[in-house]
Structure 1
Amino acid sequence: MTPNSASASSGPSRRSFLASTAVATAAVAGGMPLLAACGGSDGGSREGTTSGKAADKLLPTYIASTVAKPDIPSKNGSAAGFTSKIDLASLATSVPDKLGTGAPFTILSPLWGTPPKPDCAYYKALDAAAGTKITWQNQDGNTYGQKLGAVLASSSIPDMVVVPSWNLVGKIASAVSAKFMDLGPYLAGDKIKKYPNLAAIPSDSWRMSIFGGALRGIPMPAAPVTNIVPFYRKDIFDKKGYTVPKSADEFLSWAKEATSAKAKVWACGDMRWAAASIFGLLPAGPLGWNIGADGKLTYRIEHPEYLEHLEWVRKLFDAGVVHPDDKANTGDPTQRFTAGQTLVVNSDMSGWYGLTAQQAKSNPGFEMDGMDYFAAGGGNPTLYAVPPASIWSMIRKGASKETIENALAAANFAAAPFGTKERMFVDYGVEGTHYTVKNGVPVKTDLGNQEVNNAWVLLAAPAPYLAHPDLPEVTRKQVEWQQRQGAFVKKTSTYGMNIIEPSRYANLSSPFEQLEIDYVRGNKSLSDVQQAISTWKSSGGDKLRDWYKQLLDKNGSGN
Structure 2
Amino acid sequence: MSANLSRRTFTLGTAGLGLVGALGLVGCSSQQGGGGGAEQGSGRLPAYIPYEGLTPDLPTTEDGLPAGFFAYPADPVQAFTEPPGDGDPVSAIVQTSEPIPPAVDNNPYWQELNARLGSDLQVAMTPAGDYASKFATIVAGDELPDVFQVARGANQVPQLLAAKALDLSPYLAGDAIADYPMLANIPTESWQHGMFDGKILAVPVPRGVLQSTIQYARADLLRELGITAAPTNFQEYFDLCKEVTAPTANTWALTSVPTNYIMQMLSVPNGWREEGGSLIHYSEVEEMPEALEAARTMYEAGVVVPDSFAVNGSQYKQWFMAGAALFTGDSYSAWPAYYAQSGGIEGFELAGLDMPGYDGGEGSIWVRSPTHSIVAVNQQSEARAEVILGIMNWLAAPFGTEEYRFRKYGVQDHNFTLDGSDPVRIEETTGETFLGIQYLADAPTALYLPGNAGVVQAQYEQMGRVIPGGSPDPTEALYSETKTRKYSGLTDVLNAVRDDIIQGRREVSDWAAEVETFKTNGGDTIRAELEEALAAQA
Structure 1 residues 63-72 or 404-413, which shifts more? 404-413
Q: CA deviation at 1:400?
A: 4.0
- State yes or no: 1:315 paired with 2:314: no
Q: Distance in 1 between matches of 2:484 and 2:400?
A: 44
- State yes or no: 1:142 paired with 2:124: no
TM-score (norm 2): 0.89
The 8 Å contact of residues 39 and 533 in structure 2, kept in 1 or not, is answered as: no
- State yes or no: 1:342 paired with 2:342: no
- Residue in 2 that maps onto 1:46: 35
- Structure 1 residues 106 and 296: alpha-carbon distance in aligned structure 2, compared to 1, 3 A threshold: closer
- State yes or no: 1:227 paired with 2:227: no
Q: CA deviation at 1:443?
A: 1.6
- Structure 1 residues 371 and 130: alpha-carbon distance in aligned structure 2, compared to 1, 3 A threshold: same
TM-score (norm 1): 0.86
Q: Distance in 1 between matches of 2:471 and 2:331?
A: 20
Q: CA deviation at 1:551?
A: 3.0
1:46-445 paired onto structure 2 within 5 Å: 46-51=35-40, 54-55=42-43, 57=44, 59-75=45-61, 76-87=63-74, 90-116=75-101, 117-119=103-105, 120-164=107-151, 167-170=152-155, 174-224=159-209, 227-242=212-227, 243-270=229-256, 271-284=258-271, 288-291=272-275, 296-329=278-311, 332-359=315-342, 361-402=343-384, 404-445=385-426
Name the count of aligned residue pairs: 514
Query: Among 504, 519, 526, which residue is 1:522 paired with?
Result: 504
Q: What do the CA deviations read for 1:189-247 (whole angstroms, capped 9, x no partner)?
A: 22211211011111111111113542121112232466212000111222212232111
Name stretches of at least 5 consecutive residues in structure 2 with no aligned partner.
1-18
Q: What do the CA deviations read for 1:162-211 (whole angstroms, capped 9, x no partner)?
A: 124xx233356642332222111221122211211011111111111113
Aligned residues: CA RMSD? 2.5
Q: CA deviation at 1:502?
A: 6.1
Letter in 1 for 2:275: I
Q: CA deviation at 1:51?
A: 4.2
- Structure 1 residues 21 and 104: alpha-carbon distance in aligned structure 2, compared to 1, 3 A threshold: farther
Q: Secondary structure at the match of 1:509?
A: helix
- Residue in 2 that maps onto 1:453: 434
The 8 Å contact of residues 36 and 47 in structure 1, kept in 2 or not, is answered as: no
- Structure 1 residues 548 and 446: alpha-carbon distance in aligned structure 2, compared to 1, 3 A threshold: closer
Query: Among 506, 519, 529, which residue is 1:537 paired with?
Result: 519
- Residue in 2 that maps onto 1:3: none
The 8 Å contact of residues 165 and 378 in structure 2, kept in 1 or not, is answered as: yes
Q: Distance in 1 between matches of 2:480 and 2:190?
A: 14
Q: Secondary structure at the match of 2:326?
A: strand
Q: Secondary structure at the match of 1:511?
A: helix
Name stretches of at least 5 consecutive residues in structure 1 with no aligned partner.
1-19, 38-44
Letter in 2 for 1:46: G
Q: CA deviation at 1:465?
A: 1.7
Q: Distance in 2 between matches of 1:522 and 1:47?
A: 38
Q: Distance in 2 between matches of 1:110 and 1:520?
A: 36
Q: Distance in 1 between matches of 2:57 and 2:513?
A: 52
Structure 1 residues 227-236 or 433-442, which shifts more? 433-442
Q: CA deviation at 1:254?
A: 1.4
- Structure 1 residues 141 and 27: alpha-carbon distance in aligned structure 2, compared to 1, 3 A threshold: closer
Q: Secondary structure at the match of 1:375?
A: coil
Q: What do the CA deviations read for 1:269-311 (whole angstroms, capped 9, x no partner)?
A: 2212322322212123xxx24216xx75311111022222222
Letter in 2 for 1:348: S
Q: CA deviation at 1:427?
A: 0.2
- Residue in 2 that maps onto 1:36: 32
Q: Secondary structure at the match of 1:135?
A: strand
The 8 Å contact of residues 148 and 172 in structure 1, kept in 2 or not, is answered as: no
Letter in 2 for 1:135: Q
Q: CA deviation at 1:343?
A: 0.6
- Structure 1 residues 471 and 358: alpha-carbon distance in aligned structure 2, compared to 1, 3 A threshold: farther
Q: CA deviation at 1:107?
A: 0.6
- State yes or no: 1:487 paired with 2:468: yes
Identical columns (%): 27
- Structure 1 residues 351 and 548: alpha-carbon distance in aligned structure 2, compared to 1, 3 A threshold: closer
The 8 Å contact of residues 230 and 347 in structure 1, kept in 2 or not, is answered as: yes
Q: Secondary structure at the match of 1:398?
A: helix
- Residue in 1 that maps onto 2:11: none
Q: Distance in 2 between matches of 1:171 and 1:222?
A: 24
Q: CA deviation at 1:319?
A: 0.3
